[in-house]
């Protein structure tokens, strides 16, 4: 069952930013956002995080315990920042599958990996996180950075992450989350809803996509709620840690 609101006479709906839309429309709408920003995705992340996303991603992989020889899956991998970091960790005896639902994003990711000479241990998969084209227990680790909030049925995606993990494997999610401190929250909201869309218009000629991305952050489950969802999906030893006062959080859980 999708995470959605049931409205009398209107069928099942879910949120697209701050707007309610039919569940079946959200994937298409999100695809449109990322097709629009694919060529400027890294710039988008720089604008949204003031460049700090690069530090968050490095820390995310630094604590992942990914080892040489492992097979790992990066969901919603976008332009490949996480896959590139994991490629170095798994080495020539391991493999990384860079996956994304959006063909434009995946094409940019593939090109950037090739430009960086990362071609020996990276595979590519055009896949929906809610219904993955992989066997049970195929991966030692699954990661997802800044992608879960755009998934229509988050519970289904978490169940799929659990399914494709080997027993003892680990899933890690890096995502914008709920800011802990009131003062920081007010500053963050002002930046997100006033400044960021204007920057989107000036830099990428796309104010609407940047506004959606800011709104999607506020609609994403808070830290404790997402941890509970991971437990419901089957994960054990579920923990999270806040970075930058809760602007983002890293959730992790084990299979079995």
Question: What local confidence, expressed as pLDDT, does residue 222 receive?
Answer: 94
Q: Is 1 within 8 Å of 23 (Cβ atoms)?
A: no
Domain borders along the chain are 36-179+215-255
Question: Quick check: 50 pLDDT over 70?
Answer: yes
Longest pairwise C-alpha distance within the chain: 55
Classify burial at 98, counting beta carbons within 10 Å of its beta carbon; exposed 0-12, middle 13-18, buried 19 or more: buried
How many Cα atoms sit within 13 Å of 243 on the Cβ side?
19
Q: Sorting pLDDT into bands at 50, 70 and 90, what band is 68?
A: very high
| Mean per-residue pLDDT, 94-114 | 92
Residue with token string 């808070």 = 222
Least confident of 39-48, 49-58, 156-165: 39-48
User: 43: exposed, middle or buried (C-beta count within 10 Å: 0-12, 13-18, 19+)?
Assistant: middle
> Helix 196-204 vs helix 41-49: angle between axes, to the nearest 10 degrees?
150
CA atoms within 13 A on the CB side of 186: 2
Give the mean pLDDT of 47-53: 80
The alpha carbon dihedral of 31, 149, 41, 97 has a sign of negative
**Residue 176, φ and ψ in degrees, nearest 5:** -55, 145
Out of 8-17, 56-65, 78-87, 170-179, least confident range: 8-17
Token readout for 18 is: 């701050």
Stronger pLDDT, 121 or 102, i.e. the higher one: 121
Superfamily of domain 36-179+215-255, CATH level 4: Vaccinia Virus protein VP39 (3.40.50.150)
Of residues 73 and 10, the one with the higher pLDDT is 73
Q: Count CB neighbours of 3 within 10 A.
A: 16
Q: Which tens digits make up the pLDDT trace of 160-205?
A: 999 999 999 999 999 999 998 888 888 888 888 888 778 777 776 7
Give the CA distances from residue 206 to residues 78, 108, 142, 212, in Å, rounded to whole numbers and listed in that order: 19, 19, 32, 11
User: Where do runs of H (alpha helix) occur along the chain?
Assistant: 23-37, 41-49, 53-62, 81-90, 103-115, 154-164, 182-190, 196-204, 207-219, 223-232
Measured CA to CA, the distance from residue 110 to residue 118 in angstroms comes to 9
What's the mean pLDDT when you consider all of the chain?
87
Q: Is the model's pLDDT at 39 over the cut of 80?
A: no
pLDDT for 131 equals 96
End-to-end CA distance of the chain: 23
Per-residue pLDDT averaged across 105-120, rounded?
91
Q: What percent of the chain has pLDDT over 70?
A: 87
DSSP 8-state assignment for residue 177: -
* Crossing angle (nearest 10°) for helices 81-90 and 53-62: 30
Give residue 21's pLDDT band: very low, low, confident or very high (50, 70, 90). Answer: low
Measured CA to CA, the distance from residue 37 to residue 210 in angstroms comes to: 9
The whole model's pTM is what? Answer: 0.85
What percent of the chain is predicted at pLDDT more than 90? 57
Which of 116, 41, 124 lies closest to 85, judged by CA?
116
């Amino acid at each position: 069952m999708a995470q959605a609101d049931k409205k009398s006479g209107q069928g099942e709906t879910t949120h697209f930013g701050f707007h309610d839309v039919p569940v079946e429309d959200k994937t298409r709408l999100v695809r449109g956002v990322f097709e629009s920003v694919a060529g400027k995705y890294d710039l988008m992340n720089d604008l949204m995080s003031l460049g700090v996303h690069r530090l968050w991603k490095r820390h995310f992989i630094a604590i992942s315990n990914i080892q040489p020889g492992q097979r790992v899956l990066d969901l919603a991998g976008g332009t490949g920042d996480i896959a590139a970091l994991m490629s170095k960790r798994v080495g020539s005896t391991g493999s990384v599958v860079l996956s994304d639902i959006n063909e434009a994003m995946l094409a940019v990711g593939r090109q950037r990996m090739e430009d960086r000479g990362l071609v020996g241990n990276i595979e590519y998969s055009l896949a929906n996180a809610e219904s993955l084209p992989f066997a049970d227990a195929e991966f030692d680790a699954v990661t997802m950075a800044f992608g879960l909030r755009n998934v229509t049925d988050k519970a289904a995606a978490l169940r799929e992450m659990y399914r494709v993990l080997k027993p003892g494997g680990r899933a890690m999610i890096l995502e914008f989350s709920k800011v802990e401190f009131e003062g920081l929250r007010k500053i963050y909201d002002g930046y997100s809803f006033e400044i960021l869309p204007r920057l989107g218009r000036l830099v990428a000629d796309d104010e609407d996509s940047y506004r959606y991305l800011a709104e999607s952050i506020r609609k994403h489950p808070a830290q404790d709620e997402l941890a509970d969802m991971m437990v419901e999906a089957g994960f054990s030893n579920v923990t999270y840690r806040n970075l930058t006062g809760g602007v983002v959080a890293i959730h992790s859980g084990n299979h079995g």
